[in-house]
Amino acid sequence: MTVGVTLARALIGGLGVLLMAGGIALMAVPGGGGGLGAALSLFVPGAVLFAAVLLERTRYRSLHAERTGDSHGPGGGEPARPDDRFRPTDERFADPTTGVPMRVWVDPATGDRRYVADG
């Protein structure tokens, strides 16, 4: 599943870059090439797609798990209980997609949160 998500993100990001490049190229065409509106109609959606790929996070995952590519646990959260600096909170919820009960763990020193299947 991680490969599919990575591939989809790469394709969407690549499309964003192509659209931005097309908008820039359209502005560089002598004689207007369609004008500012046409160039922006390519550039702006491309920039939005590219930004979405950079800013999107996979559900309930810590930034550490996103950066290292750790596998998903049940419910899309962390694969295992976090290390000893994290404490369980009373915050619980059911993952809206899988229905798996999740519990929030927090590092009191930094406020960093982890989401782990509860049960």
pLDDT exceeds 70 at position 74: no
Q: For 77-100, how does the pLDDT look when each residue is reduced to its tens digit (9 = 90+)?
A: 777 788 899 999 999 988 877 788
Q: How far apart are CA 48 and CA 20, in angstroms?
A: 10
Query: Would you tell me the crossing angle of helices 2-28 and 35-55 to the nearest 10 degrees?
Result: 160
Task: Looking at the structure, tell me whether residues 34 and 72 fall in a common domain.
Answer: no
Looking at 33, 55, 77, the residue that finishes a domain is 55
Predicted pLDDT of residue 112 = 86
- Same domain flag for 37 and 7: yes
Domain count, the chain: 2
| Residues 82 and 103 grouped into a single domain | yes
For residue range 17-40, list pLDDT tens digits in order.
999 999 999 888 877 667 888 889
Q: How many CB atoms lie within 10 A of CB 62?
A: 20
